[in-house]
Amino acid sequence: MYFIELFTSKEIPERDFLFFYEDFNCVFTQYEEKDGYKVEIIFSKRDDIDFFINFCNNSFDLKGNLLASLVENPTIKTFKSEEADNWIKFLPPVSVCFNYKIVSPWDSTRSIDEIVINPSIAFGTGHHETTSSCLELLLKIKHNLSSEEKIDSVLDIGTGSGILSIFCLKVFKSKIIGIDNDYNAIDQARKNLRLNPSLPNIDFRLEELDSINHTFDLIIANISIEYLLLNIHKMSERLNPNSFLLISGFLFMRISSMNFLLIKEKFSIMSIIHKNDWISMVIKKK
């Protein structure tokens, strides 16, 4: 992995970091030091750094963004894999509720009922607001199902680490397809499933939404706002009657664009969670 190292005399506000989360696969950290603040921006690929620097130096949307104003000739360093391993080992378990906990493979206190996920900066650990909100909303869907309703089939779009697919399998015991356009993500998801040998199989596929011809009782899309806006009609076409769509991965500042599309597609909002400016919601066809 690689990271940019920046220094500033002023603390960078959270909103300046949040601007980049939709478009860049990176992790921001900020440390207060004697003479100011040190900022590290971690990337999984070296090419992503060049794209990030070019974006900061040429985008007209970044006027007044303190972070972007610092990115001109940054110090670029290599983040060694063993350092990454040490860092992620300090990630705590994720408790969704008293019935469910997501733990790492090296957690010596884990029990057979807990879900094991190998933490990955790139593909999802359960600690980010969007993922944790999705986990909570999945439980809310389960809790609110009537005696006539069932979640027998699930499509997880942009499955990443497979955490939401694996959680769905635990909660709903459904037939699940998880898709992603990144081979490394699919590989990671399959490895995470093998860490939970008591669970049945999940069909993880290196595929795009267009190649999916089935319909589902539940579709999950924890993904970028751009993808959601472009593909929500396609998701709607793949929903069974009276079924659920869980969408996540966009900031509150973009909710007006999403609401306009939901009205156009005749969706109603069933549940919504707002965490640190990140929005996750369960919607249903009217």
Give the C-alpha separation, 167 to 96, whole Å: 10
pLDDT (0 to 100) of residue 282: 95
Describe the crossing of helices 183-194 and 163-172 by its angle, rounded to 10 degrees: 40
Are 244 and 269 within 8 A, CB to CB?
no
Give the C-alpha separation, 28 to 35, whole Å: 20
User: DSSP letters along 189-253, please?
Assistant: HHHHHHT-TTS---EEEE--GGG----EEEEEEE--HHHHHHHHHHHHHTEEEEEEEEEEEEEGG
From residue 44, give the alpha-carbon distance in Å to each of 34, 38, 109, 125, 148.
29, 20, 30, 15, 45
Are 268 and 245 within 8 A, CB to CB?
no
Q: What is the pLDDT along the chain (286 residues), one digit of tens a residue?
A: 677 788 888 888 777 777 776 677 666 777 777 788 888 787 767 788 888 888 888 877 777 787 777 777 666 666 554 444 444 444 444 455 557 777 777 655 555 568 888 765 444 444 467 888 899 899 999 989 988 889 999 999 999 889 999 999 999 999 999 999 988 889 989 988 998 888 889 999 999 999 999 999 999 999 888 999 999 999 999 999 999 999 998 888 888 888 889 999 999 999 998 887 788 999 998 7
pLDDT (0 to 100) of residue 16: 78
Give the C-alpha separation, 17 to 24, whole Å: 11
